[in-house]
A and B are shown apart, each in its own frame.
Chain A
Amino acid sequence: MELRSISLEEINFDDIRFRFTLDKPDEKLIFSIQRAGLIEPVLVKSDGQAFILVTGWKRVEASREAGLKEIPALVIPSESTDLDLFSLAFFESYPGKDFSLAEKALIIKKFIEFGLSPEELIEEFLSRLELPPERQTIDLLTQLASLDWALPSIHRGRWKLSTARLFLSFFPEERRAIISVGETLNHNQQAELIELLFTLKKRQKVGLETILAEEEIKPLVQEAARERQPRARLELLSALRKRTFPLVTEINREMQTALRQINLSGNSRLDYDHSLEKSSLFISFEARTTEEIELLAEQLKQNVKEGKLDVLFGLLNKKIDK
């Protein structure tokens, strides 16, 4: 390998065959390069006309942002195969990088394109990438990697394999709608959004379009598309929860209404198991004097007398007739 200084103009940025990282350079890296230059050389290969980046995409992008014209590079001998070079790129990042699922998908897809067999991938790489070492993992991630347009969102959202699996079960146009609606939500919220949409779609045996066009949902979807803030999306999640869990949502709503009717002093709290698995009420309170305890006891007694606690217990033991 030859260490030399190369011009950024000599790099063919359209050739992304060895790229599998999706992080963009951050302010710190750009500032550091502005001040000290690029210290660690990138790896490149020459195709006779231009250089192809093997490693160092983020550093090169940061160098461009920092206004550098030339960077140090190690030029790899041209006889190396693409599989050798991609392995090199992978192993350079592997020890220090926590790959996202989107990056793992690109790694798998590219290893296959460069000629690694599924058996070799299962044996050598999947467990090391904390993925189930099975053929179907390869199939799923290869499919995911083909969705170039979705990978940045999947990467930012730090999706798990289970979320990706559900996502891929939607039709292509439905996937675009999900990515658009889920933008700006965090990973757990995105996972929940996909789970809820999948459940409703299957339960109602309709397309996603029909669900998103429902009376209660449509205005929230439209608002979410307009707004960059997550507020509208969170309201959409809440509406979807209500649609998915109608029985539990309704009893919880009635419980909240009934709880608001209970008069207790400020430092006490009445609560219950919101999953409705338990039929008991929990009372927590803080008291500094016996008078405060007496006051609470008196208030509870009054609420019992007025039948307000019976309403709560009635709801917690609600029977379904039909």
Chain B
Amino acid sequence: MQQNNWIKKIYVNRQVENSPLVERIISQLKPIPVQLVERLEEIQAELRLAPDPIAESKKVLFLTSELAFIRPCPCSPGAVPCGYWTVDLNLNCPFDCSYCILQAYFNLQPLTIAVNQGDLESELAAFLAGTRSKGLRIGTGELGDSLALEAISGQASFLIDLFRNKKGVWLELKTKAAAINSLLSTPASENVILAWSLNTERIIKIEEIGTASPEERLRSAEKAVEHGFKVAFHFDPIIYYSGWEKEYSEVCEGLLKIIPLAALAWVSLGTLRFPAKLREIARQRFPHSSIYEEELVRGRDGKFRYPRPLRLKIYQTLAEIFKAHDGSDKLYLCMESPEVWEDFSKQNKKGKHLASPFFWHE
């Protein structure tokens, strides 16, 4: 993913054709063809003709402007929300993960970079002035990978500088990439967390096309820590398969061996969950994958999950490893029900997080 050689074409919204960032990106990606468009729909009309429009949408770059960047993370109805906010300077992702919700969430969205990032400065100031939440977490990895397009856009570096020294706010940059060299030329900031989504080698190889291996991710995290950044990890989605227990345990042990607890901001755990629409798309796009064929039960929010006893077993298995390293306080569950949270907290948090399960709110 470093050579940007997967990009076949660049579309530029006519409104931003004179933006310096547009000029920089185009010259950097020469000789990739460039086409001016008036509207996103023009690109979508071309994507529709591809045999796999989603795969195609990951091969074209759209440089445009966005009206607003900061949004609350939608969580899931019935789940305990963690109060996360997203800042979306880019949309869609060049990686192709079989479980990725963006396949169902976007309607043919090309890899999109908002080149009017300067507008975020005033939006962020107004947002922070209007919020009373303490321990606010805001991140870029929800609608795209935080670092996959960094070599092209430089947006992560921009965000680090923008958030530097902002008290009571954590900026999280979440990725499945390993290339962080450009960030290492920027001084670290206490409130900026570099985060990696982690999975077992088997799952990454089969289900996360184009992403870095677990070892590469951990090595990059180690470098980030050496540079002074705090880091976070997201075991999400945890996939149940024959051998999961041993392989996930190895990844957790590997993480705790390399990353000192003091540098670890948080670790989230979340088992596979998805709406029916995603399964329909993914089964077609990833016929080799069998993650959708385990015992999965449809919940009241319409999403499929492993049965609750199995989810608890999975969470507890991983939590025991962190417990053994005094790290269970760093754990939280993503998009889980109050029932599962309660059970998990009783076993791993000595009951102290029942009122507010998220330690950054304390």
**Chain A residues with a Cβ under 8 A of chain B:** 118-119, 122, 133-136, 139, 162, 165-166, 169, 198-199, 202-203, 205, 244-248, 251, 275-279, 317-320
A-B complex: 9 closest residue pairs judged by Cβ atoms: A320-B313, A202-B293, A203-B293, A199-B293, A134-B48, A162-B280, A135-B49, A275-B297, A320-B309
A166 in complex: contacting residue of B283, B290, B339, CB < 8 Å: B283
Q: When the two chains form their complex, are residues B309 and A165 in contact, meaning their CB atoms are under 8 A apart?
A: no
Smallest CB-CB separation from B317: which chain A residue? A320
Q: When the two chains form their complex, are residues A248 and B339 in contact, meaning their CB atoms are under 8 A apart?
A: no
Min CB gap B124→A, angstroms: 37
B287 interface residue per 8 A CB criterion: yes
B307 in complex: contacting residue of A134, A276, A317, CB < 8 Å: A276
Q: Which residues of A contact B295 (CB under 8 A)?
A: 244-248
Smallest CB-CB separation from B48: which chain A residue? A134
A136 to B313, CA, bound (A): 40
Smallest CB-CB separation from B290: which chain A residue? A202
Tell whether A277 pairs with B50 under 8 Å between CB atoms, given A247-B295, A248-B295: no
Q: Which residues of A contact B294 (CB under 8 A)?
A: 203
B284 interface residue per 8 A CB criterion: yes
How many chain B residues sit at the interface, stated as a range, is 20 to 34
B298 interface residue per 8 A CB criterion: yes
Q: When the two chains form their complex, are residues B287 and A277 in contact, meaning their CB atoms are under 8 A apart?
A: no
Tell whether A277 pairs with B339 under 8 Å between CB atoms, given A122-B48, A251-B309: yes
A199 to B289, CA, bound (A): 12
Tell whether A277 pairs with B53 under 8 Å between CB atoms, given A247-B307, A319-B313, A320-B313: no
| Most chain A CB atoms below 10 A, which of B287, B312, B339 | B339
Q: Which of B265-309 contact A (CB under 8 A)?
A: 276, 280, 283-284, 287, 290, 292-295, 297-300, 307-309
A134 to B343, CA, bound (A): 45
Q: Which residues of A contact B293 (CB under 8 A)?
A: 198-199, 202-203
Q: Which residues of A contact B307 (CB under 8 A)?
A: 245, 247-248, 251, 275-276
A244 to B304, CA, bound (A): 14
Q: When the two chains form their complex, are residues B50 and A319 in contact, meaning their CB atoms are under 8 A apart?
A: no
1/0 per residue B296-331: CB within 8 Å of A?
Answer: 011110000001111011000000000000000000
Q: When the two chains form their complex, are residues A320 and B310 in contact, meaning their CB atoms are under 8 A apart?
A: yes
Q: When the two chains form their complex, are residues B48 and A248 in contact, meaning their CB atoms are under 8 A apart?
A: no
Min CB gap B160→A, angstroms: 39
1/0 per residue B89-129: CB within 8 Å of A?
Answer: 00000000000000000000000000000000000000000
Smallest CB-CB separation from B289: which chain A residue? A202
Other A-B pairs beyond A136-B51, A245-B295, 13, CB < 8 Å: A133-B48, A134-B48, A134-B53, A162-B276, A162-B280, A165-B280, A165-B284, A199-B293, A247-B295, A276-B297, A277-B297, A277-B299, A279-B308
Q: Which residues of A contact B337 (CB under 8 A)?
A: 277
Min CB gap A219→B, angstroms: 24
Q: Which residues of B contact A275 (CB under 8 A)?
A: 297-300, 307
Q: When the two chains form their complex, are residues B53 and A136 in contact, meaning their CB atoms are under 8 A apart?
A: yes
Smallest CB-CB separation from B279: which chain A residue? A162
Q: Which residues of B contact A251 (CB under 8 A)?
A: 307, 309
* A and B contact pairs by CB, cutoff 8 A, 28 listed: A135-B50, A135-B51, A136-B284, A162-B276, A169-B283, A169-B287, A199-B292, A202-B290, A202-B293, A203-B293, A245-B295, A245-B297, A245-B307, A247-B309, A248-B297, A248-B307, A251-B307, A251-B309, A275-B307, A276-B308, A277-B297, A279-B339, A317-B343, A318-B309, A319-B312, A319-B313, A320-B310, A320-B313
A139 in complex: contacting residue of B48, B51, B298, B310, CB < 8 Å: B51
B38 interface residue per 8 A CB criterion: no
